Amino acid sequence: MKKPYYITTPIYYVNASPHIGHAYTTVLCDTFARFHRFMGEETFYLTGTDEHGAKVEKAAREQGKDPKTYVDGIVPRFKDLWKLLGIEYDYFIRTTDENHQRTVQNILRDLEAKGDIYTSKYKGWYCVPCESFWTKLQLVDGKCPDCHREVQELEEENYFFKMAKYQTWLMDYIENHPGFVRPEIRRNEILGFLKEPLEDLCITRPRTRLGWGIDYPNSKDHVIYVWFDALINYVSAIGYTIDDKKFNRYWPVDAHMIGKDILRQHAVYWPIMLKAMGVEMPKMVLAHGWWTMGGAKVSKSRGNTVDPVELVKKYGIDAFRYFLLREVTLGLDGAFSEDLLAERYTSDLANDLGNLWFRLASMLGKYFEGKIPACAGDALLSSEKPNLVNLYHNVESAMLDYDPRSAVSYIWAAITRLNGAIEYNKPWVLAKDPAKREELARFLVMLGEWLAHTAVLLLPFLPHTAQQILERFKLKTDWTIENEDDFGALFLKAGTPVERGDALFPRLEEMK
């Protein structure tokens, strides 16, 4: 039996509310998860929240809350946004979950037993206001690189993970597995980084300095470094060290989707941790780019955040999803502006897809009492099947290659062609000639079949719009297409009443 498809977002750090960057990663993963379910595969889509560490402790204190109460208050903001965006994840992990904490401790005991952990004195510089510990190399003119204030020299004893001893192994692994870190530019970035000697990783913080973290096993004085804790979510969520059967069913993960800013943790720390644990490598670490506004990364610290909730309320879920998937190639940076989103909405959604539906449904209403006319369907099938199957394969191979932009572009090329076919065939002229009734019926059935097939293919990308179209055709909305024969069949039944309904994408000026 085929292993279930397993895809993850990073777990999101809860020191602030979710923004467009979080929404982008989560929509991408949702689209891949939906596509694999659509192909009839069992799928496991994991997301969640990263809840430990100094920044969360500090944010909690500023609000006069204990950290757990604080994170309990933030987590629903993420869950609510995913609900608003129609995200169908299978499991939401929190690093404060008891099972996760148990797994982290099990792993550390195991790594200690294998001799991959040692204690050492660690000298560094501490910025009190930022609560950050810096190495000498990180300081800027001897001051805190974040706030430029004076720092204090500190010496502490901590636990270290022997990362350096796996450096050569990791370089070889990445060299020999070209698809492991994607895209190519990120793979080269990591290979370049690995040319410099890798340092061992300090994986604890003294409790005196950081109270909010998972206890280090066998030491009351240390908590576990937040990144070491967080990365383990990808295996703790599927039962590592607790439920072997479940773990072996889902691992290795098919894709860790991440933003390019957390590449090093995922393409260096995490593979080395897994290697030391004796666990198989992920199939892929896939880094997407950033959304920029006016040339700067959209981020909270720059104060140029885009609120996904506002955009969804204004344009609808599917328009927002469509923009994220269509505007940039996965892996590259994209320029975000509401004008661009509004432009895509009007041209691609309202004019191309919305108008195609409106024209077909109007003509069925006008010429065939709102019903699918009867005509020689078999002839239609033999002439159109190769084109339908071709579209299906193009979309499928783009998605298996993690290129949703191309997949959506193939579907839109079909929509554009259909609008062109209406102009070319002029059904309103055919309708004036009683002798051409059969020809008119054939043309509208051909359009209807194509639109129904397009709607089925759109299910993973624009689920709400696709379902709306299918419902208006009186077709089921939960399709699985496992092969080209499933897709190359006729979907419509003669005599079915088709409901024109409201505009799929109302004009923006009418929405205000």
Q: Which stretch binds Zn ion (CB under 5 A): 19-27, 125-133, 175-183, 295-303?
A: 125-133
Q: Which stretch binds Zn ion (CB under 5 A): 10-18, 74-82, 146-154, 499-507?
A: 146-154
Which one, 57 or 396, has the nearer CB to Zn ion?
57
Q: Is 127 annotated as a binding residue?
A: yes
Q: Which stretch binds Zn ion (CB under 5 A): 65-73, 122-130, 406-414, 451-459?
A: 122-130
| Shortest Å, Cβ 124 to Zn ion | 13
| Shortest Å, Cβ 129 to Zn ion | 5
| Shortest Å, Cβ 149 to Zn ion | 5
- Please choose, from the candidates 462, 364, 470, the residue with its C-alpha nearest in 3D space to the C-alpha of residue 412: 462
Which one, 302 or 417, has the nearer CB to Zn ion?
302
| Shortest Å, Cβ 53 to Zn ion | 16
Which one, 138 or 390, has the nearer CB to Zn ion?
138
List the beta bridge partners of residue 201. 161
Distance CA 159, CA 216 (A): 9
List the beta bridge partners of residue 159. 119
Q: Is 147 annotated as a binding residue?
A: yes
User: In whole angstroms, how far apart are CA 336 and each of 20, 305, 321, 341?
Assistant: 10, 10, 13, 8
Which one, 147 or 494, has the nearer CB to Zn ion?
147
| Shortest Å, Cβ 145 to Zn ion | 8
| Shortest Å, Cβ 239 to Zn ion | 40
Q: Is 130 annotated as a binding residue?
A: yes
Which one, 156 or 254, has the nearer CB to Zn ion?
156
| Shortest Å, Cβ 132 to Zn ion | 6
Are 60 and 66 a contacting pair, CB within 8 Å? yes
**How many Cα atoms sit within 13 Å of 237 on the Cβ side?**
30
Q: Does 261 bind Zn ion (CB under 5 A)?
A: no
Kindly report whether the peptide bond that precedes residue 183 is cis, defined as omega within 30 degrees of 0: yes
Nearest-10 Cα torsion for 232, 234, 240, 244:
-170
| Shortest Å, Cβ 213 to Zn ion | 20
136: DSSP letter: G
Q: Is 375 annotated as a binding residue?
A: no
Which one, 146 or 352, has the nearer CB to Zn ion?
146
Strands (E), 237-373: 255-259, 285-288, 291-293, 296-297, 334-335
Distance CA 352, CA 412 (A): 8
- Contact with Zn ion (CB under 5 A) among 110, 131, 146, 384: 146
**How many Cα atoms sit within 13 Å of 382 on the Cβ side?**
3
Q: Which three-class secondary structure state does DSSP give residue 119?
A: strand
Kindly report whether the peptide bond that precedes residue 252 is cis, defined as omega within 30 degrees of 0: yes
- Contact with Zn ion (CB under 5 A) among 147, 335, 379, 511: 147
Which one, 127 or 350, has the nearer CB to Zn ion?
127
371: DSSP letter: B
| Shortest Å, Cβ 52 to Zn ion | 20
Show contacts with Zn ion in window 126-145 (CB under 5 A).
Answer: 127, 130, 144
Which one, 127 or 455, has the nearer CB to Zn ion?
127
Q: Which stretch binds Zn ion (CB under 5 A): 147-155, 216-224, 323-331, 385-393?
A: 147-155
Distance CA 54, CA 226 (A): 9
Cα 250 to the center of its chain, rounded Å = 18
| Shortest Å, Cβ 151 to Zn ion | 7
Which one, 86 or 145, has the nearer CB to Zn ion?
145
The answer for residues whose C-beta is within 8 angstroms of residue 502's C-beta and 6 or more apart is none
Number of chain residues interacting with Zn ion (CB under 5 A): 5
Which one, 143 or 264, has the nearer CB to Zn ion?
143
User: In whole angstroms, how far apart are CA 175 and each of 168, 219, 269, 463?
Assistant: 11, 39, 17, 39
- Please choose, from the candidates 472, 471, 491, 473, the residue with its C-alpha nearest in 3D space to the C-alpha of residue 481: 491
Residue 5 φ then ψ, to 5°: -75, 130
List the binding residues for Zn(2+).
Answer: 127, 130, 144, 147
Which residues of this protein are in contact with Zn ion, per CB under 5 A? 127, 130, 144, 146-147
List the binding residues.
Answer: 127, 130, 144, 147
